[in-house]
Structure formats: structure tokens, C-alpha cells
Amino acid sequence: MEPELTEPVDLCLPDGTLNRAAVGWSRHPLQRCNLSGRWLRKKRWDFWGVICDTHLLRLTYASLDYFGLLTMGLLVFDTRQRFEQMQVVPFGRGMRFPERPGGTDIHCTTGNSRLAISETPESTRLVMECRSRAGRHLEADVLVARPAGHETLNVVIPWNDRCFQFTSKQNTRPATGAAVLDGATYSFGPANHAYGVLDYGRGVWPYRTTWNWGAANGTQNGRLIGLNLGGQWTDGTGATENGLCIDGRLHKISEDLEWRYDRSNWERRWHIRTPGSDRVALTFTPMIVESNHLNLLLLGTELHWALGRFSGAVVSDQGERIVIDALLGWAEEHCARW
């Protein structure tokens, strides 16, 4: 079993290698991500997805050491309208990354994009604006609440002492505000069941990596349910990023997940389960599928991402079986040479 951490700890030793005392999981971010050295191997990112019944706002603020990325976009479900704007920052110059989730504010202006992430103990405010070369314009101002006592999934994945990752996955955080795309307003709030999802990552990665990630938020029979499901990249490490957030409390799943899907047809159902127990038994039915490929000789990515609905059942730490019926979220497979 993975150990549960209850005291703050540094992720790295003074020489930049993994501090083995940081390996484990916690209900609140406790690891300080004091990365150093290992130039070109360090990866840092803050990804936000603000999702409601009808649309999804996406934001990525990231550095791979050799370049930084600022990406903003909006996906409208019924019309399948997509907008995304990406700015590349050579060597991530001027980009700053807090050593803890929500640790400091983030401000970034590059090209035609502007971002401000402001933190308080009660909330995270996301303010962004970008304009494409074609003249399309997206702006958003969204407040993602941090309810008192709300628990999150925080875990260190230890491939070895020189390659490791800290991830903080936060879901079911209520969101209010709006995005405006080309003059049309898309609101977020209780009326359309809006939630913010954070994927905060800091680590030193191997050159080749493949991962699965699934996330979902919403109410099921009066319970507020958040799913965070991972696969492949954590297998065999003794750690997982699998957990349920039920009414604001984390239920950690330390088993590796089995993901089954048809790589020749991403629109077919996906199947996700814990092969050694009944903790997770879910199907995922895609509604919208996106595939992106990038090949830059030594660098490359292949991402297959789907918006859809999860159905099946999960089991809490106390053994309560919770039926999941058409819970809105996403699932992906990502293969990277980076």
C-alpha cells in the first residue's frame, strides 16, 4: 500500500534527485516541488479544465525546459465548435511555476495571449484573453472555489531516483463566471453544473512516456462525485494517481487500472477497471473525439482525447458501492517523446 503523508516535505534532495521521504500520497498538497538541475528533462505544468453541461474551457501553462507553452481554448458540445490558441515561449523565458499548487499567482503575456491566475485560500481566479491571426477572440473570467476542507489527490510517482513526478489532481471545485468567444457568451455556474479540474504536474521525466487519464465531475443520486483515473505511466511503480472524491473527501485507490479501448476507432466505448477488485468498473462512451499528432524529429506527441460519459460503479474506502450513470468527463491516451 502507498503511504499516506501528513507533514510537508521537499520533493527533491539538494542534488536534485528524489527525496524518498516524499513518496506517497496526501489529501492536501504537502510536497514542495523544489526541482533543480536535469536541464531538458524537467516538466512543469498547470492544466485547468472548467466544464459544465454544455461547454469546456481549457487552459495549459507549461514548460518542458526547452520551450514553454500557453494554450487556451473553448469547446462547445452541441455545435462541436472548437477554438484553441497556442503560444510557444522559447526555453520558457519569463515563465514562473509555483512549487506548490496554488502557492503563488501566475501572470504571463506572450504574443496575442494574456493570462492571470490569482490565488486566495478560498478560490482560484482564472482570467485569460487571446486572439488568433484570423481575428477570432476568446476571453474568460472564471472563479473556481476551494471549499473549506475539500480534499484533493496528491501523489509522487517514483520511476527511480532520477525520474519522478509529483501530481496534484483536483476536481469537483465549483466554478462561476463566463467565457466570451467571438462575442458569444458561455456562462459557468450552479445552473449548468460547472466545476473546475486542475492537473498540476512537476517532475523529471523519461524520454518516452505513454499515459491514460480520465476525469469526471457531477452529482449522482445526491452525492457529489469526482473521478480521477490514470494508467500506463504509473504501472509497476508502486504508486497510482487513482482516486474518488466523494462529497469532498478523497478515497484513494492504490491498484493499477486496466484500460481497454480500440485504437483503430476512438469513438467506440472504453472500459476501465481494477482487475483485482471491484473498486472501479466503468465504461466510457465518447461524444466528441480529438486527435493531434506532432513530429519534430527527436520530439513528438500523439494525443487521442475524448469528451464523453462514464457509467458503471465505484466503491468507496468504506465499501459503499456507488452507481455511476452518464457522468460527464473526458478520457485520453497520450504518447510522448520529450
pLDDT of 306 reads 98
Positive or negative: CA dihedral 101, 199, 251, 13: negative
pLDDT of 296 reads 81
Do residues 235 and 255 make contact, with C-beta atoms less than 8 angstroms apart?
Answer: no
Distance CA 44, CA 33 (A): 10
Do residues 33 and 202 make contact, with C-beta atoms less than 8 angstroms apart?
Answer: yes
Distance CA 78, CA 44 (A): 33
Convert the pLDDT of each residue in 37-71 to its tens digit.
988 899 999 999 999 999 999 999 999 998 999 99
Burial 75-106 (b: 16+ CB within 10 A, else e): bbbeeeeebbbebebeebeebebbbbbbeeeb
Positive or negative: CA dihedral 219, 221, 226, 228: negative
Convert the pLDDT of each residue in 68-100 to its tens digit.
999 999 999 999 999 999 999 999 999 999 999
Question: DSSP character for 238?
Answer: T
pLDDT of 116 reads 98
Give how far the C-alpha of residue 257 lies from the chain's centroid of Cα atoms, to the nearest Å.
17
Convert the pLDDT of each residue in 142-160 to its tens digit.
999 999 999 999 999 999 9
As a whole number, the mean pLDDT across the chain is 96
Structure-block grid coordinates of residue 267 = 469513438
Convert the pLDDT of each residue in 128-137 to its tens digit.
999 999 999 9
Nearest to 25 by CA among 330, 242, 207, 282: 242
Distance CA 297, CA 308 (A): 33
- Residue segments in the chain with a per-residue pLDDT below the cut of 50: none
Distance CA 40, CA 204 (A): 9
CA angle (104 as vertex; 98, 106 as ends), nearest 5: 80
Contacts of 135 (CB under 8 A, 6+ apart): none
Q: Within 10 Å of residue 206's Cβ, how many Cβ atoms?
A: 13
